[in-house]
Chains A and B, each alone.
Chain A
Amino acid sequence: MIEFFSTNGIALLIAVPLLSAFLTPLFEKINRFLRNLYIIFSVIVTVTIGFFVSYTIFVSGTLVYTLGATEPGLTMPSGLRVPVRIVLVADAFSAFMILSSSIIFFVSTIYSFGSIRKGFGKYFSLFFIMAASVFGILCTGDLFNLFVFIEILSISSTGLIAFRKEKPLSLISAYNYLIVSAVASLMILFGIGILYGQYGMLNIAAVSRAIKFSFVDVFAMVLLIAGLAMKCGSVPMHFWVPDAYGRAPSAVTAFLVVSSQASLYALFRVSFMLFAGFSLIQLVALAIITFGLLSMFIGVTMALVQKDIKRLMAYHAVSQTGYMLLGVGVGLFSINTTFYSHGLLAMEGGIFHIINHALYKGLLFLTAGAIIYATKERDLNKIGGIARKMPFTTIFFIIGAAAIAGLPPTNGFASKFLIYESVFVFNPLLSIIAVIVSMLTLISFVKIFCSAFLGPEREELKNIKEVPKPMLVAMSLLALCIISFGLFPDSVLKAIIEPAAKALLSQGAYLEAVF
């Protein structure tokens, strides 16, 4: 049984949610109770497989699954020198991302049981497709497959952003999101086509071994990196983020954070696997660092002036994406230089920030959703004094806000401190900017806390109640993760972050697993 799951795990991780997506409407036809039972069952199965797969990878190394082969490990049938079949590969970095996506997937499902009132079956169909595509992006070892999963992700997320289709604003946000992601994916496809034309291969490992960095390859690199950066919501193509995050149902927003991180994963995978040996890679790294800094700064300054609570948090998401780009960009810069050890540390900070961001941003979006659910109001000027009526939500909000601002007992402190420390060696100015952005983040969250939670009770908000139990359970799970990651950062770093950073930096294990 264990054997079966460890060999077929990564294929099942994609197959189970995809199957559930199409079975959920069928169960809906029978009755509601059976449908809910099936949804819970299938989410638990998916998440268990996700945890199990990432555990297996951390313990025993990279997993490979060849689709359509007689044996899962048979990447190259006899007589062939390159893998021709579609190969799923998951190394420690993928395992790390699978872990973080599984947690958020589980939590946002629980939350949805409280917050979504109508169209439950349709909602979960799209949600399962989105989960399948996120896991697909994280596991695939094939460039074209990557494109297909990215497109499935953008189509399903468009459906979910436009889920409240009676509101024109959510329709227009979905439209914007679809345009950006369709253009981005076409750019990615164009880049992949160029690489295919040069080397006649689509397998990432095989292309990475054959790549020669001709002029045309550089063009492909620019297209791929630009396309993926557009999808992960970094400046200058960040304008879809506040719309999409702000208008989607809150459980979806928490998962959208993870799905943009899947694009971030693809960006890192492509730049480290395919283009790490490129002589101008430091230029690419500098570009990534610059985009990171700009995202941090523009995100947080735009957030300061927002009134809509979810738009405000969405701008913070842009700003936090900047931290990850900064950390990993410094790591990419130092790949063949003397401050390699600091580069590794910066990478660890950037990667640690990915999971922390998923956790606390997820929690903050869920609390924002809870506030909107209870008060039916999203304008910060019209919300006030809800701390007395919603004590649990208030506590969760404080935990999330402390984490995003990087205050000590939370996980945000651990990763941000790692980034400051290592980036300081690279260039002190970058660290200073990062600290300033962090302070601005704190200011902005203190503002929300004061205006929405504290203050006099408002006449029109007299009758609000605490949100339903599933939503509280979901938020408390995330809060628990945040606190425990913040209390034991060392063991988390040793157990999952360090292997992930090393896997990203050294391509040897990945190549060895495929060939």
Chain B
Amino acid sequence: MILNSYFLAVALLSLVGFYALVFRSNMIKITMGLAIIASAVNLFLISLGYRYCGIAPIFTDAPIDPSQSQLKMVLPVPQALTLTSIVISLAVTALMLSLSVLLYRKTKSLDIRDIKEALSND
């Protein structure tokens, strides 16, 4: 049962992230919310491949006869997926922050609702 606590953490983290996305209007906070959801998904992926007391999935460490051995290995594929997904979410975060910087330079505000209002009045 204690193993499922990962999934509880995933649900909580994504809720926090969605809260920030929906109810915050500061662009930095929205970016943070998105990063938190990304971490939740990454945590989900990595916990899919976790095995209790498992070892790293390295070929030379593998037991010769898997049916006789007690040794367990964590799954390698979710780790590869998570690495890719981390890189992508880094790119998204960087892009969002750079857009925020550009918008701040133009409008001197970080609040997305204020900016939209100011622009629609023009």
Seen from chain A, the residues whose Cβ lies within 8 Å of a Cβ on chain B are: 144, 147-148, 151, 154-155, 158-159, 162, 165, 168-169, 171-172, 174-175, 178-179, 182-183, 186, 189-190, 193, 196-197, 200, 202
- B86-107 to A contact mask, C-beta < 8 Å, 1/0: 0011011001100110110011
CB closest chain-B residue, reference A192: B81
CB closest chain-A residue, reference B27: A175
Q: Which A residues are CB-close (under 8 A) to B74?
A: none
* Contact across chains for B85 and A179 when beta carbons are under 8 A apart: no
Majority secondary structure of chain B interface residues (helix, strand, loop or mixed): helix
Known contacts A151-B88, A182-B34, A182-B92; is A193 also within 8 Å of B99 by CB? no
CB closest chain-A residue, reference B103: A171
Q: Which A residues are CB-close (under 8 A) to B96?
A: 175, 178-179, 182
* Contact across chains for A179 and B48 when beta carbons are under 8 A apart: no
* Contact across chains for A179 and B44 when beta carbons are under 8 A apart: no
The 9 A-B residue pairs with the shortest CB-CB distance, nearest first, are A197-B48, A168-B106, A151-B88, A175-B99, A182-B92, A193-B45, A171-B103, A186-B41, A190-B41
Tell me the complex Cα distance, A175–B92, Å: 11
CB distance from B49 to the nearest CB of A (A): 9
CB distance from A137 to the nearest CB of B (A): 15
A-B contact count (CB 8 A): 80
* Contact across chains for B37 and A183 when beta carbons are under 8 A apart: yes
* Contact across chains for B115 and A196 when beta carbons are under 8 A apart: no
CB distance from A84 to the nearest CB of B (A): 9
Q: Which B residues are CB-close (under 8 A) to A174?
A: 99
Tell me the complex Cα distance, A148–B44, Å: 17
CB closest chain-A residue, reference B93: A182
Majority secondary structure of chain A interface residues (helix, strand, loop or mixed): helix
Tell me the complex Cα distance, A202–B85, Å: 15
Q: Which B residues are CB-close (under 8 A) to A196?
A: 45, 48, 77-78, 81
Partner of A186 from B30, B37, B103 at Cβ < 8 Å: B37
29 A-B residue pairs with Cβ-Cβ distance under 8 Å, sorted by A, are A144-B81, A144-B84, A147-B85, A148-B88, A151-B88, A151-B92, A155-B91, A155-B92, A162-B99, A165-B102, A168-B103, A169-B119, A171-B99, A171-B102, A174-B99, A175-B96, A175-B99, A175-B112, A179-B30, A179-B34, A182-B92, A183-B37, A186-B37, A186-B41, A189-B45, A189-B85, A193-B44, A193-B81, A197-B48
CB distance from A144 to the nearest CB of B (A): 6
CB closest chain-A residue, reference B37: A186
* Contact across chains for B102 and A155 when beta carbons are under 8 A apart: no
Q: Which B residues are CB-close (under 8 A) to A202?
A: 77
Q: Which A residues are CB-close (under 8 A) to B38?
A: 182, 186
Partner of A172 from B34, B81, B115 at Cβ < 8 Å: B115
* Contact across chains for A175 and B106 when beta carbons are under 8 A apart: no
Known contacts A148-B88, A183-B37; is A155 also within 8 Å of B103 by CB? no
Tell me the complex Cα distance, A172–B107, Å: 11
Tell me the complex Cα distance, A155–B96, Å: 10
Q: Which A residues are CB-close (under 8 A) to B73?
A: none
* Contact across chains for A172 and B21 when beta carbons are under 8 A apart: no
Known contacts A186-B41, A197-B48; is A178 also within 8 Å of B95 by CB? yes
Tell me the complex Cα distance, A202–B80, Å: 13
Tell me the complex Cα distance, A172–B117, Å: 12
CB closest chain-B residue, reference A154: B92
Q: Which B residues are CB-close (under 8 A) to A168?
A: 103, 106-107, 115, 119
Q: Which A residues are CB-close (under 8 A) to B102?
A: 162, 165, 171
Q: Which A residues are CB-close (under 8 A) to B100?
A: 175
Q: Which A residues are CB-close (under 8 A) to B99?
A: 158, 162, 171, 174-175, 178
Known contacts A155-B92, A171-B99, A174-B99; is A179 also within 8 Å of B115 by CB? no
Q: Which A residues are CB-close (under 8 A) to B95?
A: 155, 158-159, 178
